[in-house]
């Protein structure tokens, strides 16, 4: 994915754009390469690095895409040989020396490879090497204060991280408020998503919202729905999961839900999401029965839907654990939707917080609402066309449920109480957050906690969130002199 590209690959993109070569490129088997048009850099999450390039290789001029990697082996290790998005690639450019002439697309088409290391200007070659060394060091030591932060007391570090955790909670709440306002505006203007951002212009930004504007249950349901779907998508599928929730919105689902709620919603999600297989050519009879049912349901309701549709190539399965496949996550999402739309999920949460129970009991109850045990077809399948070797126990386990609570539910419910003037309940919800200990782990958080010598402090959610905030807004942006710890050490 583009967001996880290493810094040295991005450096290579600039070299490709500027064509900083001392002489014309030549493939390993001796074919001259003439770059007529470098193409357009791909800013999307996946797919080849440059689109619509025009390149003459030997005596033939090709129009297509260019993929740039560090090593020749990256073509396979990144899954490009299995991904249809790379079927239009005409040249595979790599930094390091290569011992093979070609790579192959998923269709079996041969693509020439070229190593650029021997064609770089001398100073650029040295810069590349320096960038690789620098990147390697950053992977080992991501926090500049690693060797020096012992000068700061544990109490001071905890207080700073604590404050960052509260700020992160507030920022989430503000983000949800802005999304609610957008939903209200779209509803009042009778606009349907997706909306191009600039359409939300002066009318939207100058509008004054009052309490009555927020008094619409569907708005809150939609906010929680799309936020949870984004969370269920993890890093690789979060954008398309959120987009799907906006396309197949609560308003539409309310017009087609029936007694077979789960099957109907699954049919909608898989069909609009573009993940439904060809029911005619499936080998497994059990799979065929299930997919035919979804196919028949969709045939009965598809005329009611006039929104956008997605396709299978937009989803990421590669390098995901099977239980994190989007198919399984959508099955879990369908069951969350049932709780949101049919089982008064928001009301159950607000009622639980309103009760005079211990915070621990409230947390355990609310957490239980988001732990989804597996059932039905997806209990024994990761994909449509073959059974899973090992059954799936949970669509949403306790760790992911905790992430949903901390990042979505508690900020949204705090906002809900604030808007409707229930200050004591709002403060109680914040108190629950401050006393929340979550089951989930995060490699980044573990690294920050270890670097700061804070041991298991990360288990407390406010500190867990504060560590994320610290790294993303200070450490990774080289803002040491704006960080309390950095100021004490480096000033």
The Cα–Cα gap between 440 and 325 comes to: 19
Boundary (domain end) residue, out of 400, 434, 468:
434
Q: Are residues 93 and 230 in the same domain?
A: no
Q: Is residue 211 part of a domain?
A: no
Q: Are residues 225 and 102 in the same domain?
A: no
Boundary (domain end) residue, out of 385, 403, 434:
434
Q: Is residue 322 part of a domain?
A: yes
Q: Are residues 257 and 348 in the same domain?
A: yes
Q: Are residues 228 and 105 in the same domain?
A: no
Q: Is residue 203 part of a domain?
A: no
The Cα–Cα gap between 282 and 273 comes to: 19
Q: Cα dist. 63→54, 413, 472 in Å?
A: 4, 53, 39
Give the pLDDT score at 46.
Answer: 74
Tally of domains in the chain: 2
Boundary (domain end) residue, out of 140, 168, 195:
140
Give the pLDDT score at 42.
Answer: 86
Q: Are residues 123 and 222 in the same domain?
A: no
- The kind and range of the H/E element at 294 are helix 285-301
Q: Are residues 222 and 362 in the same domain?
A: yes
Q: Is residue 208 part of a domain?
A: no
The Cα–Cα gap between 396 and 335 comes to: 10
| Residues contacting 25, CB < 8 A, separation 6+ | 32, 33, 35, 93, 114, 116, 119
Q: Are residues 134 and 221 in the same domain?
A: no
Q: Which residues pair with 25 in a beta bridge?
A: 33
Give the pLDDT score at 203.
Answer: 65
Give the pLDDT score at 283.
Answer: 61
The Cα–Cα gap between 230 and 326 comes to: 11
Q: Are residues 307 and 418 in the same domain?
A: yes
Give the pLDDT score at 166.
Answer: 97
Q: Are residues 80 and 227 in the same domain?
A: no
Backbone angles phi, psi at 237, to 5 degrees: -125, 15
The Cα–Cα gap between 31 and 424 comes to: 74
pTM flag (> 0.95): no
Q: What range does the domain containing 249 cover?
A: 216-434
Give the pLDDT score at 48.
Answer: 92
Q: Cα dist. 205→202, 208, 415 in Å?
A: 5, 8, 20
For every one of its 491 residues, what pLDDT tens digit does the chain have, with 9 covering 90 and above?
343 344 457 678 878 888 878 888 998 788 899 999 999 988 776 789 999 999 999 889 999 999 998 888 889 888 888 888 899 999 999 988 887 889 999 888 999 999 888 788 767 666 665 555 555 455 444 677 887 788 899 999 999 999 999 999 999 999 999 999 999 988 887 766 665 444 555 666 667 888 899 999 999 999 999 999 999 998 889 999 999 999 999 999 999 867 799 999 999 999 999 999 887 766 666 567 889 999 999 999 999 999 999 999 899 887 788 888 999 999 999 999 999 999 999 999 999 999 988 989 999 999 999 999 999 999 999 998 788 888 999 999 999 999 999 999 999 999 999 999 999 999 999 999 999 998 887 888 988 998 899 988 999 999 999 999 999 898 887 788 899 998 888 76
Q: Where are the alpha helices (DSSP H) in 59-150?
A: 74-77, 122-140
The Cα–Cα gap between 241 and 77 comes to: 25
Q: Are residues 136 and 232 in the same domain?
A: no
Q: Is residue 82 part of a domain?
A: yes
Q: Which residues pair with 362 in a beta bridge?
A: none
Give the pLDDT score at 4.
Answer: 37
Q: Are residues 281 and 400 in the same domain?
A: yes
Q: Are residues 222 and 123 in the same domain?
A: no
Give the pLDDT score at 133.
Answer: 53
Q: Is residue 465 part of a domain?
A: no
Q: Is residue 224 part of a domain?
A: yes
Q: Is residue 299 part of a domain?
A: yes
């Amino acid at each position: 994915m583009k967001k996880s590209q290493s810094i040295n690959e991005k450096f290579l993109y600039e070299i490709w754009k500027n064509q900083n070569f001392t002489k014309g490129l030549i493939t390993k088997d001796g074919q001259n390469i003439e770059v007529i048009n470098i193409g357009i850099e791909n800013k999307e999450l996946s797919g080849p690095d440059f689109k619509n390039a025009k390149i003459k290789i030997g005596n033939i001029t090709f129009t297509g895409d260019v993929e740039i990697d560090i090593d020749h082996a990256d073509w396979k290790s990144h899954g490009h040989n299995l991904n249809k998005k790379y079927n239009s690639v005409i040249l595979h450019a790599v930094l390091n020396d290569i011992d093979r002439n070609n790579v192959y697309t998923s269709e079996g088409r041969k693509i020439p490879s070229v190593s650029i290391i021997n064609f770089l200007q001398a100073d650029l070659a040295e810069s590349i090497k320096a960038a690789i060394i620098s990147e390697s060091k950053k992977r080992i030591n991501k926090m500049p204060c690693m060797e020096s932060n012992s000068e700061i007391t544990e109490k001071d570090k905890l207080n700073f991280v604590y404050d960052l955790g509260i700020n992160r909670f507030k920022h989430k709440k503000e983000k949800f408020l802005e999304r609610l306002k957008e939903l209200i505006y779209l509803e009042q203007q009778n606009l349907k998503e997706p909306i191009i951002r600039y359409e939300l212009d002066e009318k939207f930004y100058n509008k004054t919202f009052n309490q009555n504007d927020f008094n619409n249950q569907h708005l809150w349901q939609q906010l929680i729905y799309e936020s949870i779907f984004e969370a269920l998508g993890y890093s690789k599928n979060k954008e398309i999961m959120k987009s799907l929730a906006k396309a197949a919105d609560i308003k539409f689902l309310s017009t087609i839900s029936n007694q077979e709620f789960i099957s109907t919603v699954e049919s909608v999600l898989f069909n609009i999401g573009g993940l439904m297989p060809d029911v005619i050519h499936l080998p497994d009879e059990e799979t065929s029965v299930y997919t035919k049912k979804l196919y028949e349901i969709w045939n009965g309701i598809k005329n009611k839907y006039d929104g956008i549709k997605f396709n299978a190539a937009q989803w990421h399965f590669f390098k995901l654990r099977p239980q994190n496949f989007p198919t399984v996550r959508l099955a879990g999402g369908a069951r969350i939707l049932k709780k949101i739309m049919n089982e008064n999920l928001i009301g159950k949460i607000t009622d639980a917080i309103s009760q005079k129970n211990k915070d621990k009991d409230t947390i355990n109850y609310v957490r239980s609402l988001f732990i989804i045990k597996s059932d039905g077809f997806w209990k024994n399948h990761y994909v449509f066309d073959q059974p899973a070797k090992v059954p799936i126990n949970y669509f949403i386990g306790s760790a992911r449920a905790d992430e949903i609570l901390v990042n979505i539910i508690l900020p949204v419910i705090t906002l809900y109480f604030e808007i409707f003037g229930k200050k004591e309940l709002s403060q109680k919800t914040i108190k629950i957050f401050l006393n929340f200990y979550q089951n989930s782990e995060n490699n980044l958080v573990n690294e920050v906690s270890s670097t700061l010598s804070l041991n298991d402090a990360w288990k407390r959610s406010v500190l867990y969130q504060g560590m994320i905030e610290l790294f993303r807004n200070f450490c990774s942006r080289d803002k040491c002199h704006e960080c309390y710890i950095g100021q004490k050490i480096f000033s």
